[in-house]
Amino acid sequence: MAEETILESTERTSGREALRKNVQAAIALAGAVRSTLGPMGLDKLLIDDEGRTLVTNDGVTVLENARVEHPVARMIISASSTQDRVARDGTTSTVVICAEMLRNAWQLVRQGVHPATIARGFSQAEEFALSALSELKIEADLDQIKSAVETSLAGKMDQASQIHLSGLALEAANNILKDGRADPTRVKVIQQGGSKIGNTELTSGLAIAKTKIHPEMHENGGPGTILLIDGGIERRKPLAETKISVESVGMLDAFRAAESKALAKQIDNLISIGCDLVVCREGVDDEAKQALANAGILAYRRVESKDLDLLANSCGATTVHDATRASKADLGVFIQTREELRGGVNHWILDAEDGGATLIARASTKEVLGEVERCFADALGVACQLVEQPWLLPGAGATQVALARRLRRHAESISSREQMAIEAWADALESIPRALARNAGLDGINMLLKLTAAQAQDGPNIGLDLESGGVSDVIERGILEPFNITRQALTGATEAAVSILRIDDVLWAQVEAHIPDEIQQQLAQGN
């Protein structure tokens, strides 16, 4: 009686019914993105409240922009987002595998297997699969790395655009590689509309659509020192509204002279610390422009905070708030500075030791530009992983089938009910080649059987050939996927599935009906 009183405003679902509803939510979520999987996957058109449209093939983009309220579905979306953040690819695979694990787990629960037993079996299967995965990996050469980066864009754009963007991504990854690590955040993207994707280009260094603030300044030069100011070189403005009472002749001139002196003090300090280039987030006073030009200091203004951060990381500079208080320790170092006209827009380009690179993305429309940027980000993430750790796995479903075959043999050595869970986990892996085949207009089950038989005879490098409707050696065809992407997908999908299996009680707080604010305002006005 006490429990009913406490939970009187809460809807409760427990036991098998809770698990059934959670599994249904997972399957429905996977159904929304399964058709985007693979080189022949289809696109999704997303429309927000304001009528803005987004056409994409990226699974995590679809899920993150959709209005999903079910908590279990949100857990799986979180796993997909983590996959995107860590590996940059494999987001759809993570969702599909997780949903298939839960579907198979529900069938075992209906047969009398406890969810805790299934969770233990799933964890054992994951541990064995990750060990077997290391045996399947190959150390890639440059051509194989290039093929793997192209494979990461399969189905997202036309083939010419895939090749072009993947080549730029690999070039960018090599440019930012330092001490065995490539940080994709050091690559900046600038969008320019009114052109075609093939005109997208990569330039070394950081490019910012800016022009020097004074025509007498020399935009080409280097090496030198750079100072970053999170502010401007301007006359000081009062913090509040003030009025100046001029009581004598020359008082206003004295006030202006004091302002000029303050400006001159800032310029003198820049000269004393040996600054060759100054970059401001805010403006530069006209008087200061001429003084900087006379001192031989190149200057740029109205530079965004995120660009200041990139410049700071590239040049080793410390951002200051006031030029007067800047010191030599705050200065960074650059190799070369130059201005170039690209696509009809003047760009200031700075090269530094850790200068990174800039992609100037071009496309015909704003929507396509957004997709170009997303595709390049995915390709760059994959390229950075591969230049750091060139490990690859057979693609086109070959790795998933090879793991499933090994898991089934391993399950035969398990005498407890976990054996059934391991087999269910293996079956979930095969959902990937089935989905690939279906998205290509082929029979998923027939293609899976054909692939399994071929691997039993010719080894684990045999994968689907979606163009011919058969199977072939994917290593020879260059269809490869990064080791880290597959490993993260298996780990993320398993952790999400196990977490959901351990839920046996769902409590929904009932939301009381209320009158919308708009209606309340109308009623108030009517009274």
Torsion of CA 232, 233, 238, 240, to 10 degrees: -10
C-alpha span between 2 and 4 (Å, rounded)? 5
Average pLDDT of the chain, as a whole number: 87
Q: Exposed, middle or buried: residue 441 (CB in 10 Å: 0-12, 13-18, 19+)? A: exposed
pLDDT of residue 406: 96
Pairing assessment for the beta strands 201-204 and 357-363 based on DSSP bridges = antiparallel
pLDDT at 286: 87
Give the C-alpha separation, 487 to 389, whole Å.
14
Separation of first and last alpha carbons in the chain: 45
Nearest to 380 by CA among 246, 517, 182: 182
Asked if residue 392 lies in contact with residue 94, where contact means CB atoms within 8 angstroms, the answer is no
Inter-CA distances, 34 with 99, 137, 378, 382, 427, Å = 11, 26, 19, 21, 17
Residues 63 and 46: their CA atoms lie apart, in Å, by: 10
Dihedrals phi, psi of 261, to nearest 5 degrees: -65, -40
Residues 6+ apart with CB under 8 A from 202: 168, 171, 172, 175, 357, 358, 359, 360
Compute CA distances 114 → 27, 105, 124, 132, whole Å: 20, 9, 16, 27
Residue 41 has pLDDT above 70, yes or no: yes
Q: Token digits for 476? A: 């020879």
Helix/strand/coil for 295: coil
What is the predicted pLDDT for the residue at 278?
95
User: Alpha-carbon distance 503 to 76, whole Å?
Assistant: 14
pTM of the predicted protein model: 0.79
Lowest-confidence pick of 2-16, 107-121, 455-469:
2-16
pLDDT in tens, 147-192: 999 888 887 888 888 899 999 999 999 888 887 888 888 888 988 8
- Cβ proximity of 77 and 68 under 8 Å: yes
Comparing 108 with 218, which gets the higher pLDDT? 108
Amino acid at 525: Q
Buried b (16+ CB within 10 A) or exposed e, 270-300: beebebbbbbbbeebbebbbebbbeeebbbb
pLDDT above 70 (res 253) = no
Active site residues: 58, 91-92, 378
User: Is residue 237 pLDDT above 70, yes or no?
Assistant: no
Which H or E element spans position 395? none
Closest-CA residue to 381 (of 7, 88, 80, 162): 88
Element (H, E) at 261: helix 251-272
Cβ–Cβ under 8 Å, residues 354 and 316: yes
What does DSSP assign to residue 102? H
Residue 92 near residue 59 (C-beta atoms within 8 A) = yes
- 490 or 507, which is more confident: 490
Query: Using 50, 70 and 90 to split pLDDT, how confident is the model at 251?
Result: low
Q: Is the dihedral of CA 143, 59, 172, 342 positive or negative?
A: positive
Do 149 and 382 form a contact (C-beta atoms < 8 A)?
Answer: yes
Half-sphere exposure of 116 (CA within 13 A, CB side): 2
Whether the CA torsion 12, 16, 19, 21 is positive or negative: it is negative
Mind listing the pLDDT tens digit for each residue in 271-288? 999 999 999 999 998 889
- Return the top range by mean pLDDT from 55-69, 333-347, 402-416: 402-416
Query: What is the distance between the alpha carbons of residues 175 and 191, in angstroms, rounded to a whole number?
Result: 20
- Rounded CA-CA distance 384/88 in Å is 10
Cα separation of 72 and 248, whole Å? 75
Picking from 22, 132, 115, 30, the residue whose alpha carbon sits closest to that of residue 434 is 30
Q: Which two tokens stand for residue 466?
A: 């979606």
Instruction: State residue 508's pLDDT score.
Output: 67
CA distance 456 to 454: 5
Mean pLDDT, residues 199-206 taken together: 88
Q: Environment class of residue 69 by beta-carbon count within 10 Å: exposed (0-12), middle (13-18) or buried (19+)?
A: exposed
Q: Which two tokens stand for residue 181?
A: 């690590």
Domains within the chain, CATH numbers bracketed: 10-139+393-509 (1.10.560.10), 142-205+358-389 (3.30.260.10), 207-355 (3.50.7.10)
Residue whose tokens read 């200031």: 348
Polymer length in residues for the chain: 527
Alpha carbon distance 226, 318 (integer Å): 10
